[in-house]
Amino acid sequence: MKIRETSAFDGRQSRFDAAAAEDTLRELEEQFAAGDIDARSYLVKKQSLVRLFVKATTSPVRRRREENYDGE
């Protein structure tokens, strides 16, 4: 999936698809290495892509706290 390849949203590619996020990260690295984007833009885009990648590849489980309602 290319960055800004299309402006349309379709059901085929989810924004939380791990493979798409990984491909886009790779493309972003290539753009930065070629000097197409500056460091600040690179860091902002990478931060959001890494966040999406982590969200797509993990499923954290919240543990319920043991509440002591008796006051003991």
Q: Report the SS3 class of residue 63.
A: coil
In a domain, 45, yes or no: yes
In a domain, 61, yes or no: no
Task: Tell me which residue of 63, 1, 6, 7 sits closest to 26, measured CA to CA.
Answer: 1
| Distance from the Cα of residue 55 to its chain's centroid | 6
In a domain, 22, yes or no: yes
pLDDT above 50 for 62: yes
Residue 50 is predicted with a pLDDT of 86
pLDDT above 70 for 71: no
Report the alpha-carbon distance of residue 39 to residue 58 in Å, rounded. Answer: 28
In a domain, 12, yes or no: no
List the domain range (segments joined by +) for residue 31. Answer: 18-56
pLDDT in tens, 28-37: 999 999 999 9
In a domain, 68, yes or no: no
Find out whether 20 and 53 touch, Cβ atoms under 8 Å. Answer: no
* Average pLDDT estimate for 4-32: 71
Tell me how many domains the chain contains: 1
Question: Of 24-38, 42-56, 57-71, which one has max mean pLDDT?
Answer: 24-38
pLDDT band at 8 (very low <50, low <70, confident <90, very high): low
In a domain, 31, yes or no: yes
In a domain, 69, yes or no: no
